[in-house]
Structure 1
Amino acid sequence: MKSMRSPADLAINGSPPAFSEPLHVGRPNIGDREAFLARVNRILDNQWLTNNGPMVQEFEQRIATHLGVKHCIAMCNGTIALEIAIRALGLEGEVIVPSWTFVATAHALYWQGITPVFADIDPATHNLDPDAVRRMITPRTTGIIGVHLWGRAAPIDELQTIADEHGLKLMFDAAHAFGSTYRGQSIGRFGACEVFSFHATK
């Protein structure tokens, strides 16, 4: 691949493409096809395709064991998981979120009549800036949703201190962070709860 020097070097402007085929951000790593198909066959043989079947139960148990947590609940996607977690924590009024995150973090609040309040991020990490969070707290604030962006942990200790000082609930959107750690502990063990995503782009 040759280096690009100007917009004229882009294929869209008539230059030859840099890659022989399109590159897709969301193309998954399929892994062991035989092992995958064997599990699909087990699902079909059980004739249990939805509603807490044995494969879902095994998935939840294995994730909980891997993370060293008591509970793991599988949902259809990360956005719904955020909504359910927000309801479970009884959040209302205003909830502080980072100004730089995927829109689902804010949508999961807004769709439930909760106002997402956008706090500045640390430009070096792209995660919530604890000082900005402190500035955004009002009498209507009930919680903070930290986001572990790009697999890099949010400032967990600082956010937990702020939440404890103000009686706020703290949860994390950990969609980018399955397999990441913070000070030697797996992401998934912090705040009141954490939400992962297993979408292909994560």
Structure 2
Amino acid sequence: MSGLGDFAIFGGTPAFPEPRHVGAPNIGDRATLLRRFEEILDRRILTNDGPLVREFEEVVRGISGVRNAVAMSNGTAALEVAIQAAGLTGEVITTPWTFIATTHALLRQGIRPVFCDVDPRTHNIDPRRIEDLITERTTGILAVHLWGRVCDVDALENIARRHGLKLLFDSAHAFGCSSRGRMVGASATPRCSASTAPSSSTPSRAARW
């Protein structure tokens, strides 16, 4: 592209014949989906610990290479559970460039989000700017793997380790992604990750440890 005029919004040729909606679901095979719905109705287990929930959690564990996966109703709930499990209080350093649920999950737990600027190249939280924001009230870092681009996990782990902070990730954009052969959410460093696993017309979320 040579200028703004090349973009479809400014009159250029669209890249796709029809508009792409960011929230458009991936239905997959319709017959399989409808069969799954019929199985749910036949069992009369509409919530709680049904066999499809267990199957979903097992698939997430296999894909992510983690020990535990707990299916949640949505990403905000998954983040809140992860925040509680990590014992975060006071202030948590996070990114302003994310979906509002990242910040809501902190606020709903009575935690003050402290926004750290992002790396202009990756749009992820910039580890070089984090240490200037750490105070005596800081208990953790909540980073976001944005657009499926994995954060600088090594740098974040180093900072968290040196300052005795908990490290959490909002991985909703990065389910199934990896960096240098390591799956998102799988690490020797204890931490929590809240991810989106695309499985139906409404994305399910899982808190992963």
Quick one: higher RCO (CA 8 Å, sep 6+), 1 or 2? Answer: 2
What residue in structure 1 maps to residue 206 of structure 2?
none
Q: Could you tell me how far 1:186 is from its partner in structure 2?
A: 1.0
Aligned residue in 2 for 1:24: 21
- Deviating more after overlay: 112-121 vs 19-28: 19-28
CA distance in 1 between partners of 2:192 and 2:145 (Å):
13
1:71 aligns with 68
TM-score by length of 2: 0.85
Q: Which letter does structure 2 place at the counterpart of 1:5?
A: G
Identity across aligned pairs (percent)? 53
Unpaired runs of 5+ residues, structure 2, are 204-209
Q: 2:31 aligns with which of 11, 31, 34?
A: 34
The structure 2 residue matched to 1:81, chosen from 66, 78, 82, is 78
What is the deviation of 1:18?
9.6
More strand by share: 2
How many angstroms does 1:21 deviate by?
5.2
Structure 1: gaps of 5 or more residues:
12-16
Residue 176 (structure 1) shift? 0.1
Q: Deviations over 1:105-142 (max 9, x none)?
A: 11111111100000111100011111111111111000
Contact 2:60 2:197 in 1 (8 A): no
- RMSD of equivalent CA atoms: 2.6
> Over residues 73-116 of structure 1, what are the superposed CA-to-partner deviations in whole Å (9 max), with x where a residue is unaligned?
00000011001110111100000001211111111111111000
Rounded to whole Å, the distance in 2 between the matches of 1:39 and 1:98 is 38
CA contact (8 A) 2:90 2:138 kept: yes
Determine if contact 1:25/1:201 at 8 Å carries over to the other structure: no
Residue of structure 1 in register with 2:121 after alignment: 124
> Secondary structure of 1:125's match?
coil
3-state SS of paired residue (1:73)? strand
In structure 2, C-alpha distance between the alignment counterparts of 1:178 and 1:159, rounded to whole Å: 19
Cα distance in structure 1, aligned partners of 2:129 and 2:106: 19
Alpha-carbon contact 1:174-1:194 (below 8 Å) kept: yes
Task: Please state whether the residue corresponding to 1:197 is helix, strand or coil.
Answer: strand
In structure 1, C-alpha distance between the alignment counterparts of 2:49 and 2:65, rounded to whole Å: 21
- Give the paired residue count: 196
> Are residues 20 and 180 of structure 1, via their aligned partners in 2, closer, same or farther at CA, if it must alter by over 3 Å?
closer
The amino acid that maps onto 1:137 is I
Which residue matches 1:112? 109
Write the letter of the residue equivalent to 1:121. Answer: V
Provide the secondary structure at the position in 2 that maps to 1:70: coil
Q: CA separation in 2, counterparts of 1:167 and 1:6?
A: 49
Taking structure 1 as reference, are residues 38 and 104 closer, same or farther at Cα in structure 2, changes over 3 Å only?
Answer: same
User: Structure 1-normalised TM-score?
Assistant: 0.87
Q: Kindly state the Cα deviation for residue 62 of structure 1 after the two structures are TM-superposed.
A: 1.4
Amino acid at match of 2:21: H
Contact 1:27-1:201 within 8 A present in 2 as well: no
Report if aligned partners of 1:177, 1:196 keep a CA contact under 8 Å in 2.
yes
Matched, 1:61 2:58: yes
